[in-house]
Amino acid sequence: MRPDSITYRFLVGTLLINLIWYVAYLLIGEGALVSPLVVYRHLPALLAGKMGPHLLASLYRILLGIPIALLLGLVIAWLIYSYRPFGRAMNALTYLAYPIPKLALLPIVMLIAGLGDGGKVAMIVLILIFQVIVNVRDSLTNIPRESFHIARSLGADRWRILRYILLPAALPDILSTLRVAIGTAISVLFVTETYGTDRGMGYFITDAWMRFDYIDMYGGIVVLSITGFILFILTDIAEEHFCRWRSAGH
């Protein structure tokens, strides 16, 4: 098993996280921490019971918000790269808007988009889209100009340049951005689901905390973490499949 393989990272990472959790439980005690063994034993009943609808609601918002942000960010980054007047205007907008703490805009987003799924998805898109734009734009800008000269000298048109130069060059950065976006989206969703809703993992975890039901609370945290981890692993698998040339070069 190679140390850089997905399986190795999964097994070793899982072992270390649970070891740290269990040692912390032994040191701190049940007042603040619940044994991971107790939580894992409780998970099947929790998933089959009251947690199920909350997990589905959160998955729906995540799996809707991330693709929308990714698609819009890719299109805008390509337009910035391809059309200089538009690029200059969008670069100026991104320069000013990117550092703004987007969670501070949560009340405004919820006033405009509502307290339902629309507001929560809109918040995910608002936070992620600038990450996608900045990373993909920089990736496209860093492509050596010689690549385009060679392609054009061989008769490549605009579509072939996009297909054989722009996409392969940007794809690793797109997938890296997606990894960051997954963690960010789940964090944002957790915050948004503590307001104006009675569905979602954020609501479930906070409600269990307020009821002092710590086994449910830790169970919710574990399930939300596993959800993010599965999405992260799927991104790694996609990178191994679509960016084989990177692993071949190592």
DSSP state of 143: S
- Mean pLDDT score of the chain: 83
CB atoms within 10 A of CB 220: 28
Task: Indicate the residue type of 54.
Answer: H
CA angle 124, 127, 131 (to 5 degrees): 125
249 pLDDT higher than 60 = no
Residue 156 falls in which region: left (phi positive, over 0), alpha (psi -120 to 50) or beta:
beta
- The rounded percent of the chain whose pLDDT value lies above 70 is 92
Which pTM value belongs to this model?
0.81
pLDDT single digits (tens) 158-171: 777 777 777 777 78
Whole-Å CA distances, 55 to 78, 178, 199, 219: 34, 21, 8, 12
Q: What is the pLDDT of residue 162?
A: 74
Q: Report whether 192 contacts 202 (CB < 8 A).
A: yes
pLDDT-based confidence at 207, cuts 50/70/90? Answer: very high
